[in-house]
Structures are given as C-alpha cells and as structure tokens.
C-alpha cells in the first residue's frame, strides 16, 4: 500500500465488521502481499474478539448484530483467501 493513505488495520476491521466497508477485489487492489497478510490476521483477531465476548442470551437484536459481524468478517476472509490464490502468492 505504498503511496496510498489508509487507516489502521484495527479501524479497517471495525469498518468491515460494522458493514461500512464491503471487501471485494477492488477494495483489496491497493494492498500488496504483506499488507494482505496483515489484514487477514487483523480480521482473524477481530473475529476472535467478538467470539470471546459474552454471548447475549435472551436478546435477539444483540445476537443478530453479533452474528452479522461474524458473517461479514468471515466473508472478508474468504475474499482475501481467493484473491491470494488468484494472485499466486507463495508464502501467504
């Protein structure tokens, strides 16, 4: 991501989880191999943070919000994996 302005990985993963950013190949275009790897790890960490948080029993809206966040993060991981496979990055 040389030469481009970008937010920190923590902010990007928050935006992905909240649905403010849609992860697709166009969004990932400015990322180089190292930046993609860092983003992948950050998304995995955010997933873990959400899963570690206490489960909101008997609160359907909070459960739905939690599940939507996890779904968005999982989708982002799948898109990153497919892009890496397509670009043939060897040591990802």
CA distances from 29 to 14, 35, 48, 65, 80 (A): 19, 11, 26, 29, 11
pLDDT at 6: 56
Euclidean distance between CA atoms 25 and 53, whole angstroms: 30
Segments making up each domain of the chain, as ranges: 9-87
Check: pTM over 0.75? Answer yes or no: yes
Tens digit of pLDDT per residue, the chain (92 long)? 444 445 799 999 999 999 999 999 999 999 999 999 999 999 999 999 999 999 999 999 999 999 999 999 999 999 999 999 999 887 77
Residues 50-71 pLDDT 10s: 999 999 999 999 999 999 999 9
Judge contact between 75 and 48, C-beta under 8 A: no
In the three-class reduction of DSSP (H, G, I as helix; E, B as strand; rest coil), residue 1 is classed as coil
Q: Cα–Cα distance between 63 and 71 in angstroms, integer?
A: 12
Neighbours of 53 (CB within 10 A): 9
């Amino acid at each position: 991501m040389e030469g481009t302005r970008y937010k920190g990985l923590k902010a990007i993963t928050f935006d992905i989880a909240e649905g403010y950013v849609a992860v697709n190949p166009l969004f990932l275009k400015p990322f180089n191999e190292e930046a993609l790897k860092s983003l992948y790890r950050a998304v995995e960490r955010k997933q873990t943070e959400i899963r570690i948080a206490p489960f909101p029993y008997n609160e359907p809206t909070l459960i739905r919000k939690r599940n939507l966040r996890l779904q968005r993060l999982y989708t982002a991981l799948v898109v990153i994996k497919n892009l890496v496979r397509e670009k043939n990055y060897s040591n990802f």
